[in-house]
Chain A
Amino acid sequence: MVHSILPVHAPVTESRKKGTDMTGDVAIVGAAALPVGKWQGRAEDATRHLEHEVLARLVVGALEDAGLEKSDVSSMVFSLPRPYTDQKYFATFMANYLRLPCDGLVMEIMGNGMTAALAFQTAADQIRLGRTKVALALGVNFESAVSSVEHMMSSMRATGDVDFHTPFGFTPISWYAMDAVRYIHEFGSSREELAAVAVKNRAHAMHNPIAQFRKPMTLDDVLAQRPIVDPLGLYEVPGRGDGAVCLVLASEDVARTTARPYARIRGTGFYHEGAHQISEKPNDMIAFGAARAAAAKAYADAGVGPGDLDFAEVYAPCTIVEVLVSEALGLAPRGRGARAAAEGETSVGGRIPICTSGGLLSRGHPAYVTPFYSYAEVLDQFRGRAGGRQVENARLAATTAELGNYNAALVHVLEAVQ
């Protein structure tokens, strides 16, 4: 019983930092995020935004948001920066830059689109294991200096078999486009219904000061864009941008001492279907089986069902992906997800708001930190500071992260504690 060696009235900072008192519950208590945009600049620029300077400011901001001190933090779990970040071994570099000794864990994590969610999960697990009381889950994704056609030379090898898929020219979003073609074929949804998801997300992003794309946008605007991967046009696939986020996670006993609302992790579910982009054994690809399995686990863990949620912040790089994951989470009946978006059910003020931040399509998608933005959005909603995109009485939310073509999913159910 290691915690028994602590004096009962230990100074707050001491009890925050040490001890193995496992209440089991972990909370998000603070967040700071860079507005998603093109920050990286190019080699020829006289001055550039540097990743570590940006992230250091966010660390300070997030701790201030949490009402905690530097000395409270004893773990830092980073998302791996893109290969385009010059500074390598970024986590240990940052430990020095911040002069932050840690006796929990300092590490970097990589898991493609799921990267930031895995960093979040690892930080939460350190707290659950009693190895740390306050952990930062943080990272920076700068990539805008590299063109899309060059970036795809790398990303095409992350979303397929290098020898048996890549030679044909599959791109990451081509897999989602094939989801869309199959969905329209099976359920008779229209291209317009799918495109409505992009319009809805833009309407949310207009009220989000950290969103990358905030100009008003109509359905006609979406449909008029040049094709990227049929049937998806430019506004139905993610733009590219830079981002950085720092989240502060704490054990619930510490969260209570902060005297401000926090987001308790109430349920967690992970599932990898053991397939990479496609299952070699034919399956119902657009059922998003991994998301269904992970969501079922997260709901069971939380003791709730989809009908209990007030909103969801899902990982959806394309319109069709939001539709399919909303169905997999049980937020819309099978084959009805696109229509639900078109009819306003997933808008703020609707039956079940989805991607109140504007989602990957409008808030932006700096991929390795994207799920961090989702958790930050949940905290904003729970604290009632989401402005024009605020969900009334936001108390229970689900988040998702994924990799491949939702071959794996990590789902969290988060609960507001006032």
Chain B
Amino acid sequence: MTMTVVGAVGKRAYPPRRSAFTATFWSALAEGRFQTTRCTKCAKPSFPPKPICPHCWSDETEWVVLTGRGRLYSRTTVHAGPAAFQHELPYQVGIVDLDEGLRIATRILGEAELDQPVEIVVLRYEDGDIYAAQPVRAG
């Protein structure tokens, strides 16, 4: 399933770095896929993606595509932010529990309620992508 893409104004305030390993994640995101790694030994997924399984420390992990669906665990609106984020204030951030049993922290868009379903979307700035969660529309 291809992710929804939401356009954002200007450049990313604090662009993430890429390693040869995490480049796979960011490239997939640009193509509309929300991916992470899963251990081939203990079968547990991890987020952020890692070349080593944090649970059993195996170095055999594989890329898997996530549904990008989950529920909002908590959120806040940041009114006082770091220098690089001044132009985006106020903005929302939150914690999402994905359907695959992973907890992530990300930007929040729209009026999301706690424990209600959200979807992960691509947040596309002029210089590249990050991601965000927004409420799943009824129907």
Chain A residues within CB distance 8 Å of chain B: 148-150, 152-153, 156, 160-171, 174, 177-182, 185, 226-231, 277-283, 285
Do residues A226 and B79 form an inter-chain contact, with CB atoms below 8 A? yes
10 A-B pairs in the complex with CB atoms less than 8 angstroms apart: A148-B80, A149-B82, A152-B81, A163-B48, A164-B16, A170-B93, A174-B76, A230-B77, A230-B79, A280-B103
Decide if B102 is an interface residue (CB 8 Å cutoff).
yes
Closest Cβ of chain A: how far from B27's Cβ, in Å? 14
Q: With a CB–CB cut-off of 8 A, which chain A residues contact B78?
A: 169-171, 174, 229
Minimum CB distance partner of B108 in chain A:
A168
* Bound Cα distance A10, B106 (Å): 63
Chain A residues near B76 (CB-CB < 8 A): 174, 177-178, 180-181, 229-231
Residue in chain A with minimal CB distance to B18:
A163
Min C-beta distance of A326 to chain B, whole Å: 20
Is A167 a contact of B79 with CB atoms below 8 Å?
no
A182-B73 in contact (CB<8A): yes
List 12 extra interface pairs beyond A227-B79, A280-B54, CB under 8 A.
A149-B81, A152-B82, A167-B130, A169-B107, A171-B81, A174-B76, A178-B93, A228-B79, A231-B76, A277-B105, A278-B95, A278-B103
Size of B's binding interface in residues, CB under 8 A? 42
Q: Is the CB of B93 within 8 A of A161?
A: no
Let me know if A162 and B17 touch, CB within 8 A: yes
Quick check: A181 and B74 within 8 Å, CB to CB?
Answer: yes
Whether B134 sits at the interface, judged by CB under 8 Å, is: no
CA distance A182 to B97 in the complex (A): 13
4 interchain residue pairs of minimum CB distance? A152-B82, A177-B76, A178-B74, A163-B16
What separation, in Å, do the CA atoms of A260 and B111 have in the docked complex? 60
Which residues in A have their C-beta under 8 angstroms from that of B17? 162-163
Q: Is the interface of B mostly helix, strand, loop or mixed?
A: mixed
B105 adjacent to A282 (CB under 8 Å): no
Measured CB to CB, the closest approach of chain A to B128, in angstroms, equals 10
B94 within 8 A of A: yes
Whether the pair B82, A168 counts as a contact (CB closer than 8 A) is no
**Within the complex, which residue of B16, B83, B93, B103 is in contact with A150, where a contact is CB–CB below 8 Å?**
B83
Chain A neighbourhood of B79, CB < 8 A: 226-230
Contact surface of B with A, Cβ cutoff 8 Å: 12-17, 22, 46-48, 54, 73-86, 88, 91, 93-95, 97, 101-107, 114-115, 130, 132
Decide: A278 and B105 in contact? CB cutoff 8 A. yes
Task: Name the B residues within 8 Å of A174 (CB-CB).
Answer: 76, 78, 93
> B107 — which chain A residues lie within 8 A by C-beta?
168-169
Distance between B53 CB and nearest chain A CB, rounded to angstroms? 12
C-alpha spacing A162/B48, complex, angstroms:
11
- B77, A161: Cβ atoms under 8 Å? no
Question: Which B-chain residue is minimally distant from A182 (CB atoms)?
Answer: B74
Report yes or no: A178 in contact with B75, Cβ–Cβ below 8 A.
Answer: yes
Q: Which residue of A lies closest to B131 (CB)?
A: A168
Asked if B105 and A170 sit within 8 Å, CB to CB, the answer is: yes
Nearest-neighbour CB distance to chain B for A160, whole angstroms, equals 7
Question: Which residues of chain A come closer than 8 Å to B97, judged between CB atoms?
Answer: 282
A161 to B130, CA, bound (A): 14
In Å, the complex CA distance between A167 and B127 comes to 13
The complex places the Cα of A267 from the Cα of B78 at a distance, in Å, of 39
Chain B residue nearest to A181 (CB atoms) is B74
In contact, B83 and A168 (Cβ under 8 angstroms): no
B133 to chain A, nearest CB (A): 10
CA distance A306 to B88 in the complex (A): 45
A143 to chain B, nearest CB (A): 15
Within 8 Å CB of B22, what residues of A? 163
Assembled-state Cα–Cα distance A227/B81 (Å): 12
Which residues on B sit within 8 Å (CB–CB) of A169? Answer: 13-14, 78, 81-82, 85, 88, 91, 93, 107
Whether the Cβ atoms of A227 and B14 lie closer than 8 Å is no
CB contacts (< 8 Å) of A148 on chain B: these are: 80
CB closest chain-A residue, reference B88: A169
For B16, the chain A residues whose CB sits under 8 A away are 162-164, 166-167
Give CA–CA (A217, B101) in the complex, Å: 44
| B48 close to A171 (CB less than 8 A) | no
Given contacts A149-B86, A182-B114, contact A167 B80 (CB under 8 A): no
